Amino acid sequence: MRKKISLIGAGQIGGTLAHLISIKELADVVLFDVSEGLAKGKALDIAQSTSVDGYNINLIGTSNYEDIKNSDVVIITAGVPRKPGMTRDDLLGINLKIIKQVAEGIKKNSPNAFVICITNPLDVIVMAFQIYSGLPSKKIVGMAGVLDSSRFKYFLSQELKIPVKNIDTLVLGGHGDTMVPMPNHTTVNGKPLSEMIEKSKLDLIIERTRKGGAEIIKYLEKGSAFYAPAASGVEMAESYLKNLKKTLPCAAYLNGEYGVKNLFVGVPVVVGNLGVEKVVELTLDKNEKENFDLSIKAVNELFESAKKLDPDLKS
Ligand code: APR
């Protein structure tokens, strides 16, 4: 039987997710949006593209939560994106309200799904989604690390003139300006990155990675990045659906790992058909640990602000 992926939010990322999923024939797709016309229009447009290319999947657009029933995977992009000059944190109040409605819809109609959250500010929205929905934390992840790592890898590949495929890297921590690119856990053709690049150039690339989202918003003026975020979400969904057990940096629930308790934050996890099957604990050097702790602090502070906005998060 074909798998089913529901996309909550049929905007820029939601539409791109639907297109990528159909090209990969990964699953049937339900595009859900409060704007019914947007969801139906995009679903129909992509469905018509499948007959050009001969892809064998079904797509529907809807604003009725019952249509997401029994999804294997749900990917959430419902919310408002950043405008130039805004930080991800500026989206907190509005996106928190949206995620509360979304959590109710998913809890009622697809409580067994693997849920990938993309809405920003990522780490706190994932945490809020877990509290609102009550779904098991192993079945909930936030998409951030795959995207941040892909940006880091791309910038390195441009600087080193080496194909992206030959670079292995990782970005940990929260999905914000305090994210932690990990040069010491980066290899190029299996060699340590430090042997391939001057420190000053590496520092610039790390800074550019941290501001990777803002760079795109500045160009686009309206809306934020959507191709790379969607590609990242699909990689996570695929690892779950096909039980690939890839180790991917995701915002995952920590219960003591990395010295952090009761918080969703970006760490490498094994994603298989049970959801988050393992949190991979890397040894961090002093500098990495300091940066990781700063990132945790920023996520914690933002979560405290979220609790002030909605006392329901205090439970
Ligand atoms: N339920 C379902 N969909 C909703 C709701 C809701 N309560 N509220 C808003 N939406 C829909 C909007 O109608 C819109 O179509 O969410 C969609 C968001 O799409 P875009 O505005 O195009 O935003 P996008 O670029 O896809 O980003 C979505 O992901 O990366 C993050 O920061 C980004 O938080 C933003 C989210």
Rounded to an integer, the average pLDDT of 60-79 is 98
- Per-residue pLDDT of 264-297, as tens digits, reads 999 999 999 999 999 999 999 898 999 999 999 9
Check: pTM over 0.75? Answer yes or no.
yes
Q: Catalytic annotation on 19?
A: no
Rounded to an integer, the average pLDDT of 25-36 is 98
- Cα–Cα nearest to 74, from 25, 127, 12, 3: 3
Residue with tokens 């409060």: 34
pLDDT at 99 over 80: yes
Structure tokens at 312: 């329901």
pLDDT for the residue numbered 197:
95
Confidence of residue 87 (pLDDT cuts 50, 70, 90): confident
Give the residue, out of 13, 106, 126, with the most ligand 1 atoms within 8 A of its beta carbon, to mutate for a pocket test.
13
pLDDT for the residue numbered 178:
87
Beta bridge partners of 250: 267
pLDDT at 209 over 90: yes
- Cα–Cα nearest to 125, from 279, 293, 223, 9: 9
Atom of ligand 1 at shortest range from CA of 225? 25
Of 4, 82, 153, 175, the catalytic one is: 175
Atom of ligand 1 at shortest range from CA of 39? 15
Report the alpha-carbon distance of residue 147 to residue 171 in Å, rounded: 9
Give the residue, out of 20, 32, 33, with the most ligand 1 atoms within 8 A of its beta carbon, to mutate for a pocket test.
33
- Per-residue pLDDT of 287-296, as tens digits, reads 899 999 999 9
pLDDT for the residue numbered 295:
92
Rounded to an integer, the average pLDDT of 101-129 is 97
Ligand 1 site residues, Cβ closer than 6 angstroms? 8-14, 33-35, 38, 77-79, 81-82, 91, 95, 98, 101-102, 118-120, 223-224, 226, 229
* 193-200: long-range contacts, CB 8 A cutoff, minimum separation 24: 193/156, 193/169, 196/160, 197/156, 197/159, 197/160
Q: What are phi and psi of 230, to 5 degrees?
A: -65, -45
Rounded to an integer, the average pLDDT of 2-16 is 97
